[in-house]
Structure 1
Amino acid sequence: MKIFHFNGQTGRRVTKYGSNFILNKMIQTEQPAQIVHMDLKGGDNIGAHETHVNQLFIVTGGSGYVRGCEDIWYEVSSGEAVGFSAGEVHETRTDSGLTAIVIESESMDSGQFMEEKER
């Protein structure tokens, strides 16, 4: 499991076409990808399970805890993403609520563009 961060301090500034914003490139896939949105209310959880393909869990709101094969709970919040490798057993829980976009694909490398967060 790897935890990444993305926010106004990372990424690159885009000014083309009169734009002014920060862009964080997150993932690129060579093969088909599945993209889903998850909405966990306070006290909800995603039980321990093995991922079949590489997965990027992008926290878009709220906060919670994740753990992978290390069996250590790590806090994550909006502006962070967690990369799980194919075959990795992992789970998620939240006390106060959490929303996330999850991207799954065989061919993606979640560390390709994002900087890993120190734990």
Structure 2
Amino acid sequence: MEFYTFSKDKGIKISNFNSNFIMSRIIQMQKEVQIGCIYLEEDGIIGYHQAVVPQLLLILNGEGYVRNEEEYFKVIPGDAVFWKKDEWHETKSEIGLTAIVIESEELNPALFMSHKL
């Protein structure tokens, strides 16, 4: 399990075409990819299982915990959690959270995002 950040302070200011916004790059894909939005309600859980393909979980709001085979880690908005194929993991939240999940054989978040310290 690896931790990255896509928080606003890691983004770049875009001004092309009279634009005025900050963008945090996340991933670029050439192969098949599946993207979904996960809504964990209060006391919600994504049960302990192996990743079928590499997975990237982007926490948008709320908070919760992810775990690997050994321990739990707190996640908050702006956190990105990466699991390699076959890696065991679980996600849970006491108060609820919303996240985007990206799944693809080609995932390499280190190309665009900084590791979380």
TM-score (ref. length: structure 1)? 0.94
The amino acid of 2:79's aligned partner reads E
How do 1:20-59 residues align onto structure 2 when only pairs under 5 Å count? 20-59=20-59
Query: What is aligned with 1:79?
Result: 78
User: What RMSD, in angstroms, separates the aligned Cα atoms of the two structures?
Assistant: 0.9
Using the TM superposition, give the Cα deviation of residue 30 of structure 1 relative to its aligned residue in structure 2, in angstroms.
2.3
Contact 2:6/2:25 (<8 A) preserved: no
Using the TM superposition, give the Cα deviation of residue 75 of structure 1 relative to its aligned residue in structure 2, in angstroms.
0.5
Structure 1 unaligned regions, length at least 5: none
The amino acid of 1:50's aligned partner reads Q
State the SS of the aligned residue for 1:86. coil
Could you give the per-residue CA deviations for residues 15-73 of structure 1, whole angstroms, max 9, x where no partner exists?
Answer: 1111111111101122100011110011011110000111110111100000113x111
TM-score (ref. length: structure 2)? 0.95
The amino acid of 1:67's aligned partner reads R
The amino acid of 2:57's aligned partner reads F
**Aligned residues: percent identity?**
38
Q: Count the aligned residue pairs.
A: 117
Contact 1:30/1:108 (<8 A) preserved: no
Could you give the per-residue CA deviations for residues 4-23 of structure 1, whole angstroms, max 9, x where no partner exists?
Answer: 11222102110111111111
After TM superposition, which residue ranges in structure 1, 4 or more long, deviate above 6 angstroms? none
